[in-house]
Amino acid sequence: MQTALVLGGGGARGAAHIGVLQALCAADLKFDIVTGTSAGSLVGGFFAAGFTPQEIKHISSMVNWDLFPVRWVSLLSNLLKSSFKATSTPAITTDSIVSTKKLERLLKRYLGNTKIKNLPRNFATVAVDLHTGETVVFSREKLPDRTAPVLTDVKLWEAMRSSMAIPVVFSPTSFPPWLLTDGGIKENLPVDLAAELGAEKVIAVDVGPPLPPLQPINFIQIGLRALDIMAEERSEWSTDIPVEVIRPDVTAIGGLDFNRLDEAIEAGYQAGLEYLRQLP
């Protein structure tokens, strides 16, 4: 039986995927297929490339806000220029709040030129085209039943980076004719994608917690809140294959809480252990 591991999006909460993997792999569970969106594409991509959960955890220890420098100079420059223009439309040209150059260097350091089509484990991830709103799939295998574009001859790190391009926070990626942003906008828990790849059973990890009470927040958090609301709608599936869902308790961790990745990993580990305890 072809078993798939499906990892959903959730920003920093996605570190819980690492803990789940630690528990499941220690119990010798095997996965033929991996799909992931946004944060799930990062963890899933490394796993599909042959990295162990412990190795992925080590890489995650390098992820913090130092990896995402805010573009203060560019943002302030844009705003100042806008204030002197006689127009009602601000002339803001910066495409994101933070730079992802350090993150991209980190991904390239570990993944190099590895292409999705050459991965040892079947893998797919999704992004969304800002021009058309359609889903673009990066996949090791071709998907003849998909009407949306499916790209196979692509570097793994570029596909992962595209899927986790949180709007406004991270810049979109360019794959002409597509301009790609976070896949969670349309397919946050890609169970149906796993079924298309031949999965007969799915273990899905959903790190999109129930929405907490809304507190006074800034404009970045407003955008993330909107994405969380959309993600709730985009975490359903239509396939009738068996799907078992693991939901780590990451309610208290925000999507940009990169200083709390260890907490998310531990929450995932505990959720993985609880899943194993319930197996017949």
Average pLDDT for residues 174-200, to the nearest whole number? 94
pLDDT in the model for residue 76: 42
Average pLDDT for residues 131-159, to the nearest whole number? 94
Res 112 pLDDT > 60? yes
Average pLDDT of the chain, as a whole number: 86
Cα 37 from chain centroid?
4
Res 236 pLDDT > 50? yes
DSSP codes of every residue in 159-203:
HHHHHT--TTTS--EEETTEEEEEGGGT-SS-HHHHHHTT-SEEE
pLDDT in the model for residue 68: 56
What single letter denotes the amino acid at residue 194?
Answer: A
pLDDT in the model for residue 215: 62
Q: What is the pLDDT of residues 7-17, one digit of tens each?
A: 999 989 999 99
Average pLDDT for residues 116-120, to the nearest whole number? 97
Q: Could you tell me the pLDDT band of residue 231, with boundaries at 50, 70 and 90?
A: low
Could you tell me which of 28, 176, 169, 53 has the C-alpha nearest to residue 100? 169
Average pLDDT for residues 15-24, to the nearest whole number? 98
Res 72 pLDDT > 80? no
In degrees and rounded to multiples of 5, residue 246 shows phi and psi of -105, 130
Res 114 pLDDT > 80? yes
158-189 b/e with 16+ CB inside 10 Å = b?
bbbbbbbbbbbbbbbbebeebbbbbbbbbbbb
